[in-house]
């Protein structure tokens, strides 16, 4: 019955001159997950369906594409009120509840105005035995009249919202095996960032990355964008060098500063990354006091994004479940930060003291040496 999918943009209407760029990116992102042709209609994109179209696949894939406010399987017909009535009748076959008609006329040369369309179609449905009720309808018939044809549909499927991935630039996310950082990555993708990952593995070589939960997390997250990259850095030998030179209470901060420096080096070497991001949340653990976040941030000069700063744990867990990362995140994993963490870490680090300690450690060379064995893996 349906011959089209009508896709409405989220937020794009407010983007002024950038609108063209946003639409181009959205179309590219849809095409990267679905083998379909799209046509631009005023204020919307349309997929033309054929007998081979898999509606379930289209529905599940489109739901994960950012930049879509809602979409609907629709019948496209001519800009002719008689044809529109026929389609509405066809779509209400076997339906018994109360109905409402909601027309939107973006093609101003269409002879009837929206309220007239509502009335005409509503009367036609009443003639067919349906009850029209504008206050508490069970089904709303949407009628979009555009310059190139009219779409009739009754089920608006909610999209992921946000901005098309790629329109806000590239971000390098520190991805741990925990619950938070995958959710943080999702939040940034939702705001149009293309997110790649760097993971510091609790190993000395890069032989084990293949089946790890980190790769599983990166794969799940690549449902929301295409072409995801994961930089895998064995971190244990760097940690071993830290232990004899840095007092136990300061080690956590030094590990984290090393991670940020390595991430920044990768981000700058591969250019195009506009920010580093983490799943940190204010006050959650010792390294996430404001003072310690500042001490860690001071290790680099790139912009650092912490999209979960103000979230409660339960809110993060709810989101992790929604986006499909929770079950993977709760699997056991020896994170390199939980590894060798002192019982009483410093809660209020002094940046100058830490810098001196790091100089004695030769941290710049340690960074260079460690990232030499980075393994890069790509997901389509």
Residues that bind ligand ATP (CB under 6 A): 174-176, 178-181, 199-200, 259, 278-280, 284-285, 287, 335-337
Task: Please identify, using beta-carbon distances, which residue of 134 and 339 lies nearer to Mg ion.
Answer: 339
Q: How far is the CB of 356 from ligand ATP (least distance, A)?
A: 24
Task: Please identify, using beta-carbon distances, which residue of 163 and 308 lies nearer to Mg ion.
Answer: 308
By CB under 5 A, tell whether 325 contacts Mg ion: no
User: Beta strand 68-77 with 157-161: parallel, antiparallel or unpaired?
Assistant: antiparallel
Among 176, 222, 329, 370, binds Mg ion (CB under 5 A): 176
Q: How far is the CB of 303 from Mg ion (least distance, A)?
A: 22
Determine the longest span between alpha carbons in the chain, in angstroms.
87
d(CA 223, CA 323): 9
Q: How far is the CB of 142 from Mg ion (least distance, A)?
A: 45
- Give the residue closest to Mg ion by C-beta: 178
Task: Please identify, using beta-carbon distances, which residue of 134 and 339 lies nearer to ligand ATP.
Answer: 339
Per partner kind, with CB cut-offs from 5 to 8 A, the member of ligand ATP, Mg ion, none near residue 278 is ligand ATP
- Would you say the C-alpha torsion 352, 354, 356, 359 has a positive or negative sign? negative
d(CA 257, CA 249): 14
Task: Please identify, using beta-carbon distances, which residue of 33 and 175 lies nearer to ligand ATP.
Answer: 175
CB 46 within 8 A of CB 76: yes
Q: How far is the CB of 199 from Mg ion (least distance, A)?
A: 11
- Give the residue closest to ligand ATP by C-beta: 178
Q: How far is the CB of 358 from ligand ATP (least distance, A)?
A: 18
Tokens 């054929």 identify what position? 50
User: 161 has which bridge partners?
Assistant: 68
H or E stretch at 118 = helix 114-127
d(CA 327, CA 330): 6
Task: Please identify, using beta-carbon distances, which residue of 22 and 197 lies nearer to ligand ATP.
Answer: 197
d(CA 297, CA 306): 11
Tokens 């992102």 identify what position? 29
Q: How far is the CB of 259 from ligand ATP (least distance, A)?
A: 6
Task: Please identify, using beta-carbon distances, which residue of 117 and 188 lies nearer to ligand ATP.
Answer: 188
Mapping DSSP to helix (H, G, I), strand (E, B) and coil, where does residue 258 land?
helix
Please report, as ranges, the residues that interact with Mg ion according to CB under 5 A: 176, 178
């Amino acid at each position: 019955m349906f011959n089209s999918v009508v896709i409405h943009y989220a937020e794009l209407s407010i983007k002024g001159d950038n609108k063209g760029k946003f639409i181009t990116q959205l179309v590219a992102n849809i095409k990267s997950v679905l083998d379909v042709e799209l046509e631009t209609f005023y204020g919307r994109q349309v997929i033309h369906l054929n007998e081979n179209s898999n509606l379930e696949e289209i529905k599940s894939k489109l739901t994960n594409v950012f930049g879509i406010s809602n979409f609907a399987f629709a019948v496209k017909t001519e800009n002719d009120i008689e044809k529109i009535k026929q389609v509405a009748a066809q779509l209400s076959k076997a339906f018994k509840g109360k109905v409402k008609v909601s027309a939107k006329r973006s093609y101003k040369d269409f002879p009837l105005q929206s309220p007239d369309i509502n009335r005409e179609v509503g009367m036609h449905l009443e003639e067919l035995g349906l009850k029209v009720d504008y206050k508490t309808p069970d089904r709303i018939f949407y009628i979009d009249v555009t310059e190139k044809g009219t779409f009739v549909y009754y089920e608006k499927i909610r999209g992921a919202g946000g901005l098309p991935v790629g329109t806000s630039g590239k971000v390098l996310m520190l991805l741990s095996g925990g619950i938070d950082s995958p959710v943080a990555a999702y939040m940034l993708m939702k705001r149009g960032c293309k997110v790649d990952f760097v993971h510091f593995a609790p190993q000395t070589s890069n032989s084990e990355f293949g089946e790890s939960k980190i790769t599983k997390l990166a794969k799940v997250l690549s449902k929301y964008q295409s072409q995801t990259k994961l930089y895998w850095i064995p971190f244990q030998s760097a940690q071993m060098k830290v232990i004899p030179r840095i007092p136990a209470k300061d080690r956590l901060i030094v590990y984290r500063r090393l991670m940020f420096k390595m991430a920044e080096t990768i981000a700058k070497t591969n250019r195009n990354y506009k920010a580093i991001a983490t799943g940190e949340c204010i006050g959650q653990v010792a390294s996430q006091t404001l003072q310690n976040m500042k001490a860690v941030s001071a290790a680099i000069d790139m912009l650092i994004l912490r999209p979960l700063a103000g979230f409660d744990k339960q809110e993060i867990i709810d989101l992790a479940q929604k986006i499909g990362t929770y079950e993977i995140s709760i699997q056991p994993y020896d994170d390199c930060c939980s590894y060798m963490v002192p019982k009483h870490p410093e809660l209020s680090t002094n940046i100058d003291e830490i810098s001196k300690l790091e100089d004695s450690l030769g941290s710049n060379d340690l960074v260079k040496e460690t990232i030499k064995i980075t393994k890069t893996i790509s997901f389509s």
